[in-house]
Amino acid sequence: MKIATWNINGIRARIELLRRWLAEADPDVVCLQEVKSADEAFPHEALDGTGYNVAVHGQKGFNGVAILAKRPIEDVVRGLPGDPDDVQARYIEATIAGEHGVARVASIYLPNGNPVGSDKFSYKLAWTNRLIARARSRLRLEEPLVLAGDYNVIPMPEDARYPENWVGDALFQPESRSKFRELLAAGFTDAIRAAMPDSDVYTFWDYQAAAWQKNDGIRIDHLLLSPQAADRMVRCGVDKHTRGWDKPSDHAPVWVDLEL
């Protein structure tokens, strides 16, 4: 089962890029972030004929997450538990059957948190605490689980081409990175780092200052695997070339193959 995550940065603006990539990469499951579309406005018709089922937790104009899968999407949970007053669409979870088992998958769009010291940064940390609590509860099911998405966290200095440029940013604050390590310590494997520990692997290149042309990237899109998923990992990678397409997302798809 090939599971991918991609911050699409606007589903309507990049629906043709999504269709192109689906045909090329042929993933079994796709977790999308920043679809920027309410549920009723999601362009389901544009995905007709692609072979994918769709589950959406959308929001007009910003945020929004979705799961696409070739097989039926079941047990759908929309919204991250823990705060009934949180209306931001940043989390959707579901189960998808493979040929040799079932995977539980979550599409995650963790808050950016800038500027540091603001309510937005406090929300980022509180949201991450809720994610950690949810992840721990899901681990108790002892099943293949993939937490996929845009975490808006640069875990280590080697995850940025120029880490010194991010010292004042919420993505690279000690508190943000500590929360990410806490999530890993709960029992998850960072798929990309497990497979490519010595590589300069990035998943995001800003639209500004020719970041793509200079390979001035950061790694903020992650696939975190439960022990049962990590044991089934065959390979993983980043489809970096999509960032060079016409009118691209500023993120590239990240994927993992599991024996499922």
Which residues make up each annotated binding site? 7, 34, 150, 152, 250-251
CB 33 within 8 A of CB 150: yes
Which of the residues 91, 221, 251, 257 is marked catalytic? 251
Burial string for 2-11 (b: 16+ CB within 10 Å, else e) reads bbbbbbbbbb
Alpha-carbon distance of 249 to 247, in angstroms, equals 7
Which of the residues 91, 109, 151, 202 is marked catalytic? 109
Is 150 among the catalytic positions?
yes
Is 251 among the catalytic positions?
yes
CB 60 within 8 A of CB 37: yes
Nearest CA among 56, 149, 130 for reference residue 86 = 130
Which position has the token pair 């090939």?
2
Across the strands, what pairs with 107? 92, 148
Is 241 among the catalytic positions?
no
Q: Are strands 102-109 and 145-150 parallel, antiparallel or unpaired?
A: parallel
Alpha-carbon distance of 235 to 250, in angstroms, equals 24
Alpha-carbon distance of 131 to 82, in angstroms, equals 9
Please enumerate, by residue number, every residue annotated as part of a binding site for Mg(2+). Answer: 7, 34, 150, 152, 250-251
Task: Kindly list the catalytic residues.
Answer: 109, 150, 251
